[in-house]
Chains A and B, each alone.
Chain A
């Protein structure tokens, strides 16, 4: 599940929006991953650079004019452009150009060994540590934690007598030191994936653990692993060069570090010697890091988009501010259209020409199946449509005032005071790190600027009114300490705290048990009578509608197909779609009557 960081949707989770958007986005997701990567300019350029550099490295034996350690005393510190010595000679009279080419291979081999070892150790450890039982988890966790505590570069230097100064052996050890990073990534991903239902389904299908890990778990976690590999390759090259710069290990091996070190010693005699290896090393490591970033953006789609904050919902149509007003209606929605950008950028209308009107104290049920646009209609009235949504036309008039085109500040003043909201998932609408009471007091004070003490007393009275047995205890509780039904009561208390004229409830009982649902509906009905507020109830459940609504509007594919009094629509639905929906209800009289099926062809 993707969680949206959109500021406008933080308090209001847009479950059904996801459905609307992804319905049209299939084609873009079918593009192969590599194509998406290549299309990203940053990835394309860095991949091109790295490929060119390492290709040259591979061709070194053919194109390098000298061996890496061929010294010619007459060429000591030869200037750039000397014949046969393109970039000149170093302090020992070796050809800098040839040494550069050979160094590329050293870097490539370092990256290859370091990354491969880290991947093998880290991925295996992560899969095993994340998937199997607690004892295995503890063992791998301890092992990798121990690896992490080892001081990296220092250890590599200390181990020089063991590795014999061979940079390949050093990189092999360094791979183990890199492994905990990969282990952490893989383990956390596996912990997330292993409880997915399709992994359970695979287990039930009789697949062995190895096959499940390879086929169902690894395929999901490979994206982040590829990204991490790019960063690790850069880090392996940097460490190898660093060690060579310090003069640790064999001096025979041409490497960027050794060359930089030599250039460093000659800085005052021939400053250019220092430049070439630094430049190439810089280009390689920077390319790897930038490539890693580009891969992350394309594979994980985490490129943050700039957003206008506080501008309110986007409206592209001219809103008629002085249209006819209906003095009897509290909320009048006329000809409302809402669109989302489709795959090719063309707007995809999810709500078309919706007309609704709600009198004060009226309870209207907005009914429809998923993707019918019912939640979108409700959200546009609250002014909390996601930023990619565009209102293409119409008008939403609340208490004689046009809501479309209002900025966020003016909408925020209305929300919580005149228009209140109850969400579908009570738990995700309470901040887990604050006490329930303080969240309600904060909301109440934002809407009414009441003194803190009065606000607290009022909240406790409201909690009591909303059927919470020990209001003081709930007031002091954290959200995780209360049940889902209780959390919904808390949110209802918060919603009615400022005596709103309109309450918008989006599937307020869908996530609750049926006995709790009945209690919450009783509470809503009582509060509605008591406060005389209008209620716009978005739901897919006709039972809930029959229980509480005076009027019903049925939505299908973004349009309202039928609208009328509840008794009429339940009694004599006019539209075919309404009849189909009502016909699909599994009513009380339909009990299965046929006897258990005879077993065919299965011997037992």
Chain B
């Protein structure tokens, strides 16, 4: 039994204007995430990859299909029942600059979800210390404000917040795309380490095949609201079957002038063949 199962998930947003038609952004996506597994969700802007994550988090209401977490249907849950899932499903967002409340200290940000779920403030405090330790931040970070930290450090805070209630699944929405290259690699390594330690599952949303390849066991490729290809990471990211995935793979430039020249020619051949 998988931890998270999406079946024929559909999401539509209301159109603009009075009685406008709804715009469907996900046209029936089926996907599952196993215990301790990372599933990478790749797609370009507008493909609906972020919407899948938000639907799992309960921030977007699906218009059809089902979302099951640990065999329980969660797509229709509201209020208290939904809030109860908070300790099982967590999130790390893309932008570390807007995902932390600028007026709260790191300690308060991390303790808040713990206190809400009934921890005493002393327990929360000691848990916060061990969390900071786990994500490689100094202990004195506890009394400082988010703006005193760099992007990579803030993302570590966001990861610590997600880990705080000991979740089984973390939805990672482009968590490294706002970071510098060297920081990106370190934060990805942190994600992998944490997974090995805690056995948490990741639904890892990204537009960057390189990032997804680095962290995922399985990869799903999304194109305009449809899942076009799913499979294990090595296959999908090196010998994809679907033409869109091939195009995506060939479009990502490699940091080697000679190989990039070959790749470019290959991409042009592919485009010419499909034209």
Contact = CB atoms under 8 A, between A and B. Distances in A.
Contacts of A595: 217
A544 interface: yes
A446 interface: no
B252 A592 contact: no
B215 A546 contact: no
B34 A514 contact: no
A540 B254 contact: no
Contacts of B247: 515
A598 B36 contact: yes
A586 interface: yes
Interface string B121-161: 00000000000000000000000010110010000001001
Given A369-B180, A592-B214, A592-B233, A206 B98 contact: no
A591 B59 contact: no
Contacts of B31: none
B99 A370 contact: no
B185 interface: yes
Contacts of A220: 101-103
Interface in A552-604: 566-567, 570, 580-582, 584-588, 590-592, 594-602, 604
Interface string B176-198: 00001111110010001001111
Nearest to A206: B86
Interface in B105-132: 112-113, 116-117
A53 interface: no
A546 B256 contact: yes
B255 A543 contact: yes
B237 interface: yes
B169 to A, nearest CB: 10
B57 A204 contact: yes
A256 B207 CA distance: 67
A164 to B, nearest CB: 44
* Chain A CB within 10 Å, residue with most, of B181, B184, B250: B181
Nearest to B217: A596
Interface size class of B (residues with CB under 8 A): 35 or more
B230 interface: no
A518 B173 CA distance: 24
Contacts of A484: 45
Given A513-B45, A546-B255, A369 B182 contact: yes
Nearest to A549: B257
Contacts of A590: 213-214
Contacts of B267: 518
Interface in B67-113: 70, 83-87, 89-91, 93-95, 98-104, 112-113
Given A591-B234, A596-B201, 4 more contacts: A198-B101, A204-B57, A205-B86, A521-B253
Interface of B: 3, 34-38, 44-45, 57-59, 70, 83-87, 89-91, 93-95, 98-104, 112-113, 116-117, 145, 147-148, 151, 158, 161, 164-166, 168, 180-185, 188, 192, 195-201, 207-211, 213-217, 233-234, 237-238, 247-248, 250-260, 264, 267
Interface of A: 22, 26, 29-30, 196-198, 200-208, 211, 215-216, 219-220, 369-370, 484, 513-518, 521-522, 540-547, 566-567, 570, 580-582, 584-588, 590-592, 594-602, 604
